[in-house]
């Protein structure tokens, strides 16, 4: 049994996943995405073994998964799941199609039209880039002047692909958000606590143990089904009055900052899931 | 032969502090910590063994 592991950088996560696979008797061949140059045809890639896509780059992982699927490889996560989860607008749309509870949101393409709609909905609200991660460029708009400033920057800078404004309801969280790991079914989760309203561990939020209740597990599984992924991290927002909604879904699950605290054996769980696919 | 510096890339050494780094089990893309200055380094070549300071973030990186 063999797995091709595609990576951008061999981080703690990739090493641990590879070790867990090898401990189960799986041969792991690693491939740096920087060196991959693939013909755009249906010719099988290598031995056709399943591919575990661990590229950190959304651009590279989306294209590589798409190419490898045409070549007949089983890719985890699929190109469709990567393309959907890597784009917050498409993620939200996939969730909407399945009536998954989430904050209200809208998409706009012109500065004044977006400011007008933000103003109509009221403050605060949140704007984030459709492509991006680790909490970068996520901003809270507390007033019309903030909305005008942020939208001016959004539409004055970058290229056409940047001139898309995603605006989302601001959720007054009780000092944390939740992340549920889903591999077919929910396998565990973490609570990310922060005094800041942005609760990415990449931005300093502290991971805590969190025993996923059945209602949260069911919601996360529904969200995972909506985007069609194999190995995902579903971010949930809890309101102060106990409502739970889906915020985002991550297709290249990171855990280096949290595994020591939470003790969820994610590398082993991932390896078991991949083993199930191999069989 | 003296190691050479190429555009802030260290050959068999840390590009930040010049501490020697040797080994034969590295992979391109692997992130290592320099024992001399604790800099996060990325393996960018194997023959010769070349290290660059590991970028913390790229525009489309992340989960």
pLDDT the model gives residue B4:
45
Which A positions 56-85 lie with beta carbon below 8 A of chain B? 56-59
With 60 as the cut, is the pLDDT of residue A87 above it?
Answer: yes
* Any domain includes A273: no
With 50 as the cut, is the pLDDT of residue A71 above it?
Answer: yes
CB-based contact B31 A9, cutoff 8 Å:
yes
Spatial separation of the C-alpha atoms in residues B49 and B59, rounded to whole Å: 27
pLDDT the model gives residue B2:
46
Average pLDDT of the segment spanning A32-56: 96
Is A254 found in the same domain as A200?
yes
B47 Cβ under 8 Å from any chain A Cβ: no
Question: In angstroms, what CA-CA distances link A49 with A54, A203, A274, B59?
Answer: 15, 36, 11, 30
With 90 as the cut, is the pLDDT of residue A29 above it?
Answer: yes
Is A150 found in the same domain as A129?
yes
Output the CA torsion sign for A104, A108, A112, A113. negative
pLDDT band at A233 (very low <50, low <70, confident <90, very high): very high
Find the domain containing A224 and state its range: 172-263
Q: How many structural domains does chain A have?
A: 3
With 70 as the cut, is the pLDDT of residue A76 above it?
Answer: yes
* Any domain includes A8: yes
pLDDT the model gives residue B7:
52
Output the six-digit token pair for A245.
């909604």
A200 Cβ under 8 Å from any chain B Cβ: no
* Any domain includes A95: no
* Any domain includes A200: yes
* Any domain includes A204: yes
Last residue of a domain, one of A124, A153, A169: A169
* Any domain includes A229: yes
Last residue of a domain, one of A142, A169, A196: A169
Average pLDDT of the segment spanning A25-39: 96
What digits encode the pLDDT tens for the residues B31-55? Answer: 899 999 999 999 999 989 999 998 8
Is A256 found in the same domain as A176?
yes
Average pLDDT, chain A: 95
Question: What distance, in Å, lies between the first and last C-alpha atoms of chain B?
Answer: 43
Of A79-93, A129-143, A145-159, the poorest mean pLDDT is in A129-143
Is A77 found in the same domain as A141?
no
Cβ-Cβ contacts under 8 Å, B63 against chain A: 133-134, 233, 250-254
Q: What percent of chain A has pLDDT over 90?
A: 86
With 90 as the cut, is the pLDDT of residue A172 above it?
Answer: yes
Output the CA torsion sign for A240, A246, A248, A253. positive
Helices (H), chain A: 12-23, 58-70, 79-85, 88-97, 111-121, 144-156, 214-227, 259-262, 266-278
Spatial separation of the C-alpha atoms in residues A105 and A130, rounded to whole Å: 12
pLDDT band at B62 (very low <50, low <70, confident <90, very high): confident
CB-based contact B57 A34, cutoff 8 Å:
no
Is A42 found in the same domain as A55?
yes
> Which residue(s) pair with A180 in the sheet?
A189, A234
Is A198 found in the same domain as A135?
no
CB-based contact A57 B60, cutoff 8 Å:
yes
pTM for the predicted model, two decimal places? 0.91
With 60 as the cut, is the pLDDT of residue B5 above it?
Answer: no
* Any domain includes A125: yes
Interface test with B, best of A30, A56, A60, A256 (most B CBs within 10 A): A56
pLDDT band at B23 (very low <50, low <70, confident <90, very high): confident
CATH number at residue A117: 3.30.1490.20
pLDDT band at B3 (very low <50, low <70, confident <90, very high): very low
Spatial separation of the C-alpha atoms in residues A170 and A142, rounded to whole Å: 10
CATH number at residue A71: 3.40.50.20
């Amino acid at each position: 049994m063999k797995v091709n592991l595609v990576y951008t950088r061999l981080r703690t996560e990739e090493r641990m996943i590879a070790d867990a696979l090898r401990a189960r008797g799986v041969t792991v061949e690693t491939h740096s995405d920087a060196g991959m140059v693939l013909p755009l045809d249906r010719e099988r890639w290598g031995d056709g073994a399943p591919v575990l896509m661990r590229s950190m780059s959304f651009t590279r992982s989306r294209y590589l998964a798409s190419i490898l699927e045409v070549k007949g490889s089983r890719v985890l996560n699929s190109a469709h799941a990567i393309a959907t989860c890597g784009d917050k607008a498409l993620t939200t749309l996939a969730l909407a199609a399945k009536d998954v509870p989430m904050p209200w949101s809208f998409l706009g393409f012109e500065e004044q039209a977006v400011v007008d709609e933000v103003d109509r909905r009221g403050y605060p609200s949140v704007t984030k880039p459709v492509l991006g991660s680790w909490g970068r460029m996520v901003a809270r708009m507390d007033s019309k002047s903030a909305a005008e400033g942020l939208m001016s920057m959004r539409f004055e800078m970058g290229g056409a692909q940047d001139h898309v404004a995603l605006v989302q309801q601001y959720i007054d969280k009780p000092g944390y958000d939740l992340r549920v790991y889903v591999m077919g079914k929910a396998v565990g989760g973490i609570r990310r606590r922060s005094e800041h309203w942005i609760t990415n561990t990449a931005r300093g939020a502290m991971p805590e143990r969190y025993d996923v209740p059945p209602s949260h597990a069911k919601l996360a599984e529904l969200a995972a089904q909506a985007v069609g992924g194999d190995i995902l991290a579903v971010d949930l927002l809890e309101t102060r009055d106990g409502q739970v909604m889906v915020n985002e879904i991550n297709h290249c699950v990171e855990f280096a900052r949290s595994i020591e605290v939470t003790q969820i054996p994610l590398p082993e769980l991932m390896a078991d899931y991949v083993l199930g696919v191999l069989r | 032969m003296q190691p050479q510096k190429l555009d802030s890339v260290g050959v068999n050494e840390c590009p930040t502090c010049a501490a020697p780094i040797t080994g034969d089990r590295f992979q391109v893309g692997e992130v290592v910590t320099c024992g001399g200055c604790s800099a996060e380094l990325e393996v960018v070549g194997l023959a010769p063994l070349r290290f660059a300071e590991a970028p913390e973030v790229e525009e489309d990186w992340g989960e």
